């Protein structure tokens, strides 16, 4: 099936007389006739459900669709994008280990890795998204267990050289984890470029309507855990907390990662997506291919309009030919990137503040990537405690505005931006 068809019909095939739409299994638990029947599930000898903290059929239909979209072998849903990235990393890293990560990543993920995971004894080296092959190699240590980056970074809008990052990671016997939230599998399938694990904040384009917070993890099934058994004892030696199962042996490369993540991390940390939210997520997925096309078209048109506007000093959007990431975008995102554009106002902080006040259609929100256009000037909102100097250092200069272009008519959007720019 092609991507467009998977968006609509992937993951769930109803039998004769069964509901056409994915059923919401709003039940915490599942009934069995004998203890032996249930025992087989606990021994991982039979597949089935026993408690929704670990697994739920509604979630699994939707996870299967996302696995198909990304070209992976297995997937799971989490309660948020934060949980997805934490679980993906913590599934293979423990105290004493080390991560190499692109520095150009979502602020929440940066904090997760640089502060919270550090407190757990997991160290990190950040590398520039533009790092050369030599610089990437130099960041690795004998205890490095994962490499991490974002296809299109939120909010910097840099594009990851997935093939290069994957090559270097694999030369060190380490998997590459790619957060594909902004591109979505409609725009890019990182596994085809060598990524081993793909994560999502489904809160963004996949949901697409600002209705539910959620995340997803997809395994490519390509990483050979047994070939690097000494690095990944959690997957390649018996799990005493789960009847001595050795995940890589029992479930192979195709299933080990997600099975361990479910039976161990979900069991102990409990961050599953609610079945109700999984249902809403699936409604979003059914139109993802149609919506992404429009988000990209609108984003490109707005970027071009801003690029040529005298009140605008610069625009960051990889779809513009003079953007530093344009060549990478042509390689990895040939059908368009996303609807998020950032730009700087020539009049600085004050102009940005006037612009924001003047907007009528675009709402002021910290959110991005849904159907309604929204806009943020970090200097006057999320980062307002910082000085102009500190803002510059953090990569969010005072004049910077981030706009997430929705699905409205492009003429109305440009008219709104145009009037808002008039007296800036
Ligand atoms: C929003 C976002 C996250 C965090 O997701 P939540 O669903 O808000 O927890 C992670 N990565 C990227 C790229 C994001 O945009």
Same domain, 260 and 374: no
> Is the domain of 327 the same as that of 228?
no
Instruction: Report the pLDDT value the prediction gives residue 270, as an integer from 0 to 100.
Output: 97
Ligand 1, residues 78, 82, 182: which to mutate, most atoms within 8 A of Cβ? Answer: 82
293 plus 211 within the same structural domain: no
At 248 the pLDDT is: 98
- Decide if 197 contacts 66 (C-beta within 8 A): no
What distance in angstroms lies between residue 108's CA and the mean position of ligand 1's atoms? 7
Q: Is residue 396 in some structural domain?
A: yes
Per-residue model confidence (pLDDT) at position 120? 98
Question: Crossing angle, helix 410-422 and helix 348-358, to 10 degrees?
Answer: 130
Distance 214 CA to ligand 1 centre (A): 9
pLDDT at residue number 387: 86
Whole-number Å distance, alpha carbon 227 to ligand 1 midpoint, is 32
Query: Pick from 254, 283, 312: which residue ends a domain?
Result: 283
- Are 243 and 304 contained in the same domain? no
Q: Are residues 46 and 123 in the same domain?
A: yes
Q: Cα(63) to centroid of ligand 1, in Å?
A: 17
Task: Give domain status of residue 194, yes or no.
Answer: yes
Are 116 and 252 within one domain?
yes
- Which atom of ligand 1 approaches the CA of 369 most closely? 15
Which atom of ligand 1 is the closest one to the Cα of 203? 7
- CA 5 from centre of chain: 22
Question: Do 297 and 279 share a domain, yes or no?
Answer: no
CATH code for the domain in which residue 332 is found: 3.90.1150.10
Best of 102, 108, 183 for a ligand 1 pocket test (most atoms within 8 Å of beta carbon): 108
CATH number at residue 158: 3.40.640.10
Q: Which token pair is 330?
A: 């042509």
β-bridge mates for residue 216, sequence order:
77, 200
| Cα Rg, the chain, nearest whole Å | 22
In angstroms, the CA 215 to CA 272 distance is 9
How high is the pLDDT of residue 377?
92
Q: Containing domain of residue 276, as a range?
A: 21-283
The segments of the chain whose pLDDT lies below 50 read none
Q: Which residue's CA is the nearest one to ligand 1's atom 5?
A: 81
pLDDT digits (tens, 9 = 90+) for 156-212: 899 999 999 999 999 999 999 999 999 999 999 999 999 999 999 999 999 999 999
Q: Which of 72, 76, 93 is nearest to 223 (CA)?
A: 72
Shared domain check, 224 and 363: no
Q: Show the CA angle centred on residue 203, arms to residues 201 and 208, nearest 5°.
A: 125
**Which residue among 79, 104, 109 is best mutated to probe the pocket of ligand 1, counting the most ligand atoms within 8 A of its Cβ?**
109
Confidence at residue 243, expressed as pLDDT on a 0 to 100 scale: 85
Distance CA 295, CA 126 (A): 31
Whether 206 and 307 share a structural domain: no
Tokens representing 127?
A: 């590398």
Structural domain ending residue among the three candidates 262, 283, 304: 283
pLDDT of amino acid 41: 86
Report CA(33)–ligand 1 centroid distance (Å).
41
pLDDT in tens, 335-372: 999 999 999 999 999 999 999 999 999 998 888 999 99
**Residue 162 and residue 92 share a domain:** yes
Domain presence at residue 75: yes
Domain count for the chain, please give it. 2
Q: Which atom of ligand 1 is nearest to the CA of 82?
A: 9
> Quick one: pLDDT at residue 388?
87
Distances (CA, A) of 370 to 62, 199, 226, 335: 19, 18, 41, 19
Residues having CB closer than 6 A to ligand 1 are 80-82, 85, 106, 108-109, 150, 154, 179, 181-182, 201, 203-204, 213, 215
8 domain residue, yes or no: no
Q: Ligand 1 center to residue 231 CA distance, Å?
A: 28
Q: Is 138 in the same domain as 162?
A: yes
Residue 256 falls inside a structural domain: yes
């Amino acid at each position: 099936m092609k991507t467009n068809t998977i968006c609509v019909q992937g993951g769930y095939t109803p039998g004769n007389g069964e509901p056409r739409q994915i059923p919401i299994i709003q039940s915490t638990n599942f009934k069995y006739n004998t203890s032996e029947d249930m025992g087989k599930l606990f021994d991982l000898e039979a597949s089935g459900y026993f408690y929704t903290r670990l697994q739920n059929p509604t979630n699994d239909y939707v996870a299967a669709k996302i696995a198909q979209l990304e070209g992976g072998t297995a997937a799971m849903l989490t309660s948020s994008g934060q949980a997805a990235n934490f679980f993906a990393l913590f599934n293979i890293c423990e105290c004493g280990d080390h991560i190499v990560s692109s520095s150009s990543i979502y602020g929440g993920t940066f904090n997760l890795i640089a502060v919270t995971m550090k407190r757990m004894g997991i160290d990190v080296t950040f590398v520039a998204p533009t790092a050369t092959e030599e610089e990437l190699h130099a960041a690795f240590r004998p205890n490095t267990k994962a490499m991490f980056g974002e296809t299109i970074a939120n909010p910097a809008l840099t594009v990851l050289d997935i093939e290069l990052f994957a090559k270097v990671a694999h030369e060190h016997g380490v998997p590459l984890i790619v957060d594909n939230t902004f591109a979505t599998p409609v725009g890019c399938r990182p596994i085809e470029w060598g990524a081993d694990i793909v994560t999502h904040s489904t809160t963004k384009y996949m949901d697409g309507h600002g209705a539910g917070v959620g995340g997803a993890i997809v395994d490519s099934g390509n990483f050979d855990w047994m070939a690097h058994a000494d690095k990944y004892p959690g997957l390649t030696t018996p799990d005493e907390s789960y009847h001595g199962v050795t995940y890589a042996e029992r479930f192979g490369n195709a299933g080990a990662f997600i099975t361990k993540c479910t039976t161990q991390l979900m069991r102990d940390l409990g961050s599953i997506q609610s079945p109700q939210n999984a249902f809403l997520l699936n409604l979003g997925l059914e139109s993802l291919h149609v919506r992404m096309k429009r988000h990209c078209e609108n984003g490109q048109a707005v970027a071009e309009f801003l690029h040529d506007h005298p009140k605008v000093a610069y625009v960051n959007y990889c779809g513009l030919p003079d953007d530093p990431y344009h060549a990478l975008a042509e390689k990895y995102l040939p059908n368009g990137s996303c609807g998020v554009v950032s730009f700087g106002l020539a009049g600085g902080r004050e102009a940005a503040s006037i612009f924001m006040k003047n907007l009528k259609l675009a709402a002021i929100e910290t959110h991005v990537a849904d159907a309604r256009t929204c806009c943020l000037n970090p200097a006057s909102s999320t980062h307002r405690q910082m000085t102009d100097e500190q803002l510059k250092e953090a990569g969010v200069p005072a004049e910077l505005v981030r706009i997430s272009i929705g699905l409205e008519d492009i003429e109305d959007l440009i008219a709104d931006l145009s009037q808002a720019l008039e007296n800036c």
